[in-house]
Structures are given as structure tokens and as C-alpha cells.
Chains A and B, each alone.
Chain A
Amino acid sequence: MVKRILAIVFILIIGFWMAKALDQIPFGQDRMLVGKYYLEHVTEDTGAINAVTAVVVNYRGFDTLGEVTVLFIASTGVAALLWRKKRKRTAKTEGSIVLTTGARLLLPFIMLFGAYIFIHGHLTPGGGFPGGATIATAFLFFYLAFTVYEIDHKIFEPLEGFAGLGYVTVGLIGLAIGGYFLFDWIWQTWGIGRENVGRLLSAGFIPIIYTLIGIKVGTELTGIVDNMIKEPEEGG
């Protein structure tokens, strides 16, 4: 009881000071400095019309590579923490007929929707991370519906590695052509898609990189789901 009262008092103090500090920051006013440059130059620099995507993949592409690495390390960490010699699914009850039929019917459409999200990352809100998460949702759906279902590790793990390697390769080609890592050579040097900005085939390497990120995030999150859903066998 004393602990709770202390916690509430502590929280009230912190809340008061946070409100006090944020009181100095006006809401909804234009304070852009760097953002203005990005917004004004985004179309000619990168060809993308979605400025958030351009910032994530093009202006701060190296940052995103680090982010993908963090996700990869976390996925590896989950696998390492949950590693046992014999791990099997121990679920006893099959999903209901609604769940199994729905999973069978919806799986291609959910994956198509995920692919749509990451391919159109430079045109619409979305991109590799939400698209990959959507694809992982499709596999989670399968895991919930069928007790014996298991992803094919022989396909998933090479795919994950290939996607990460592809990202670095795209960056290294940029280094060879333009002089720095993750240089957008398709847009800056070749100028492919200059006449159809705002359509699918534009924005240089952003769709390529977002497709790779989508594959990587999808396989990694599916791997995390797979690791978490399996339990060690009795005495295993």
C-alpha cells in the first residue's frame, strides 16, 4: 500500500515536470529547419513523393541498415534464448473450422496485401516494415489454425540472409558508382523513371530496398513467432 502511494506521488511529480517542460513547446506551429529542406528537395533528389520514405531509405539509409541489423540481432537473440535440443509444437486442439478455412482462403490475400504495402512504399503510407509485419501475420494465422504447421526453415533462413545481403550489395554498388555507401545510382546516375514521378516505376532504388526490407522483416518476425510458439518436449 505504501509502495503504491509512493509510486503515485512519484508519478505526479514526474507528470508535473513533464507538463511544465512541454508547456514551453507550442503545439502545431511550424518549426521545421531540416524538414523544410527535405520537403522541398525530396522529389528531385530521390524521386519519391512520400517524404517519410525518402528520409528513411534515402537520406538516412545507413540508419535503416542499422535498424534492420538490430531486428536481425533481436531475432537471433530470441532464437538463442529459446534454443533447446528438441522443440516441438505441443498444441493439442486444431483450430475451429472458421479459423482453418479462413486461414486457407486468406493467406494469399494477406501476403499480397503485405507485398502491395512494401512495393508502394514510396507512394503511399507504409513500406518495408509494416509490409513485412503483415506477411508475418499471415504465417501467425497459419500457426494458430493448424497444430502441425511449421514453416520451412530451409527456405526462410536463406531468404532472410539473402535480403540482408541484397541491401548491403545495393549500398556497395552505390559506393562503386557514386562514391559513397547507399548512393542512389538508379535515380542520380541513370535517371530511370524521371518522367513518371508518382507512379510505381520511379524513386530509384527505394522500391528495391523496401522489397528487401519487407522480405527480411517478414521472415524475421515469422521466425520469432516460430521460436515462441514451440515448446520443449517433455524431458527434452
Chain B
Amino acid sequence: MNPYYFASIALILIGLYAVLTKRNVLKILVGLSIMETGVNLLLISVGYVSGRSAPILSEGITPDRAVDPIPQALVLTAIVIGVATTAMALSVVINLYERYKTLNVEEIRRLRG
């Protein structure tokens, strides 16, 4: 059993639990963000190589002493996209609240009929 991925799996599962059980839309969004953090952490840790440093090739860091740069670049993209989608979702939540005066998903569903 490989224990190194435990933190990222735990973050993904905590987020999933929040998404599944919470009724407040904001809390569901928080859960999604936690899940996203877990996935990013998982990607970064897949690219890690023991005993090597960050891929900035200065001060004695030669190419065979640096970790894989590709997962880091992809996670940089993923973080930005995550921020953008979270901002979109939050504005939808603001609209929902202005319309229904509640954030409870079940009540919103009932109001729609």
C-alpha cells in the first residue's frame, strides 16, 4: 500500500462528501473547490521525483536533478480554469439568492415546481 497519495485522496473524498450531503449551494461549491485542490495535489505528486528540486535550471540544478515540469505547467492551467469556473458558479449563486431568497437546493427545487 502506497501511503503518499493519502492526502490528495482524502481531500477529494472530503469534497465529494460535501457535494453529496450538503444542501446549501455555497457549501456544495466549497466542496467542489476542495475536490479540485485534491486533484491538483494528486497531479503534482505524480510528477515528483525523490531528491530532486524544482525545475528552475540555475545554481547547479542540471536537467537530471529537476522534477518533471509538465504536471506543474498543467496544474497551473487547471488552477486558473478552476478560479474562472468558481467565479461563474458564484455569480449564478448570487442570482439564485436574489430570486429565491434562499440557498437551500431542496427549497429552490420546490419553488420551481
Residues of chain A touching chain B, judged by Cβ–Cβ distance below 8 Å, are: 3-4, 7-8, 10-11, 14-15, 18-19, 22-23, 25-32, 34-36, 38-40, 42-43, 49-52, 54-56, 60, 63-64, 67, 70-71, 73-75, 77-78, 81-82, 123-125, 127, 129, 133, 198, 217, 221, 224, 227-228, 232
Task: Encode B42-82 as 1/0 by CB contact (under 8 A) with A.
Answer: 10011111110011111000011010111011001101110
| Residue B88, interface by CB 8 Å | yes
> Which residues on A sit within 8 Å (CB–CB) of B20?
3, 7, 10-11
Q: Are A23 and B1 closer than 8 Å at their CB atoms?
A: yes
Q: Do B45 and A49 touch (CB < 8 A)?
A: no
A24 to B46: give the CA distance in the assembly, Å: 12
B92 CB → nearest A CB, Å: 6
How many A-B residue pairs have C-beta atoms within 8 angstroms? Tell me.
142
Min C-beta distance of B72 to chain A, whole Å: 5
Contact A14 B4 (CB under 8 A): no
Interface centre among A36, A49, A74 (most CB of B within 10 A): A74
Residues of A within 8 A of B94 (CB): 81-82, 228
B81 touching A25, Cβ below 8 Å: no
Nearest first, the 7 closest Cβ-Cβ pairs linking A and B are A74-B84, A28-B50, A51-B55, A39-B63, A35-B68, A27-B4, A51-B69
B91 within 8 A of A: yes
Asked whether any CB of chain A lies closer than 8 Å to the CB of B9, the reply is yes
By beta carbon, the residue of chain A nearest B48 is: A28
**Residues on B with beta carbons closer than 8 Å to the beta carbon of A55:** 69-70, 73
Q: Is B102 an interface residue (CB 8 A)?
A: no
In-complex Cβ contact of B77 among A38, A54, A64, A74 (8 A): A64
B76-A129 in contact (CB<8A): yes
Contact of B81 (CB < 8 Å), options: A27, A31, A67: A67
> Closest residue of chain A to B69, judged by CB?
A51
Residues of B within 8 A of A26 (CB): 2
Q: What would 6 A/B residue contacts be, using CB atoms closer than 8 Å?
A: A7-B20, A11-B17, A27-B50, A52-B72, A70-B84, A123-B58
Taking CB atoms, residues of chain B closer than 8 Å to A54 are 69
Alpha-carbon distance between A4 and B23 when the two chains are bound, in angstroms: 12
Q: How far is the CB of A5 from chain B (nearest CB, A)?
A: 10
- Given A7-B20, A11-B17, A198-B58, 12 new contacts (CB under 8 A): A11-B20, A27-B50, A28-B48, A32-B49, A38-B70, A51-B66, A52-B55, A56-B76, A82-B91, A125-B54, A227-B91, A228-B90
Residues from chain B with a CB closer than 8 A to the CB of A34 are: 70
Residues of B within 8 A of A75 (CB): 84, 87
- Considering the chains assembled together, what is the distance between the CA atoms of A62 and B73 in angstroms? 13
- Residues of B within 8 Å of A71, CB to CB, are 80-81, 83-84
User: Assuming the A-B contacts A14-B16, A22-B9, A71-B80, are A27 and B91 also in contact, with contact meaning beta carbons closer than 8 angstroms in the complex?
Assistant: no
